[in-house]
Amino acid sequence: MVEFLREIVAIPTINPPGENYVPCAERIGEQLREFGYEVEYVAAEGLAEHTREHPRVNVIGRLGGAPRPLLHFNGHIDVVPVGEGWTVDPFGALVRDGRIYGRGTTDQKSGIAASIYAVEAIRREGITLHGTVEQSGTVDEESGGFAGAAYLADHGYVHRDRTDFVIITEPLNVDRVCIGHRGVYWFEVTLEGRIAHGSMPFLGVNAIDKMSQFIQKLDRELRPALASRTTAMPVEPSGARHPSININGIRGGQPQGIQTPCVADRCSAIFDRRFLLEEPFAEVKREIEAALEGFDYRLKDLMVVEPVQTDASSRLVTTMQSAVGSVLSAEAPLIASPGTYDQKHVMRRGLVEQCIAYGPGILHLSHQPDEYCRIDHLIDGAKAMALATMRLLGAKA
């Protein structure tokens, strides 16, 4: 399991732009086929991001007899860019002091390795499962998952008509079970000004100044309102139980690197608004529109993700909790994620009601330099997945 993880970590599946998806999907497919799965590759045909230079190819493996119940393990193969601050080779998959280092070790190739080898351990013991297990490695989760998990859901590969349970192997810590996530509203605001000569700014209207005023208005009026709201979802860390708004990027005035004596007549900014299960999206957007009153603006929706949460009393949740408790000899708390992941597509597009996230990896190491996964967490996660698989599908020696 460790060596397989090292092999797929060494494939730099960097998103953006979506590099090396095909060789990574093929390596996973080879391993699944060796372990007795029927393997299929699913390209995201018809989507703009699926190009000749950067093809979006997902891999699915199926193992079992009876078609139902069907348990589907899913993990994403893409990783974020490396960034600065590394002291080891980001794609060297170094093993040191009981850890595997590299971009994607935690988020989330360790989860893919754990789920594949969890089921392989069952098979090697000669245990027969009464249903079917599927494993998928999907693309583009870091950029929304639309060519990956969403594509599989839209085309019936993961759907309530055939799928009973989905475990997404995201790294929410090996001792916890994640039942959902908050919502996301990404939007772009463009404010218009009036151009003028830089030596006579009083003859123009500076759009950057206007954006500054808008941001100050958000700080003064919206942020205190958000801080006063708290969700009942068990979001971790606890600070994320309040909604939030963040400025992702801002640009205005003359093009970068070109100096011109002009008053900026346009300024655009991208915002990231995280919202709660208790906040209807219509109200979330209405608050932004209210804050923009008095400005000459254009508002563009970039992405909307509704919050999701699986019933804490569902069979999948209680079974996974029990399995983790059996392995770690401690009760597994239920949490919700501060960010979003592919559970949104499984539940809202695939209409599968029982979906959770569980996997090895320490949450706060995601996207960090010197990212690593502890080998003992990898093993414990695989053990818990194996127990949950047998309890969900039924097993006999």
- Tens digits of pLDDT across the chain (397 residues): 999 999 999 999 999 999 999 999 999 999 999 999 999 999 999 999 999 999 999 999 999 878 999 999 999 999 999 999 999 999 999 999 999 999 999 999 999 999 999 999 999 999 999 999 999 999 999 999 999 999 999 999 999 999 999 999 999 999 999 999 999 999 999 999 999 999 999 999 999 999 999 999 999 999 999 999 999 999 999 999 999 999 999 999 876 656 779 999 999 999 999 999 999 999 999 999 999 999 999 999 999 999 999 999 999 999 999 999 999 999 999 999 998 999 999 999 999 999 999 999 998 899 999 999 999 999 999 999 999 999 999 988 7
pLDDT at 395: 86
pLDDT at 65: 79
Angle CA 309–312–316, to nearest 5: 95
pLDDT at 218: 98
Cβ count near 256 (within 10 Å): 6
pLDDT at 256: 63
Q: What is the crossing angle of helices 2-9 and 110-124, to 10°?
A: 150
Residues of the chain within CATH 3.30.70.360 domain(s) are 184-305
Q: How many helices (H) and strands (E) does the chain have?
A: 10, 18
State the pTM of this model: 0.92
What SS3 class is residue 288?
Answer: helix
What topology is assigned to 184-305 in CATH?
Alpha-Beta Plaits (3.30.70)
pLDDT at 396: 83
Q: Residue 260, class by beta-carbon neighbours within 10 Å (0-12 exposed, 13-18 middle, 19+ buried)?
A: exposed
Residues of the chain within CATH 3.40.630.10 domain(s) are 2-181+307-396
CATH number of 2-181+307-396: 3.40.630.10
Angle CA 17–20–26, to nearest 5: 140
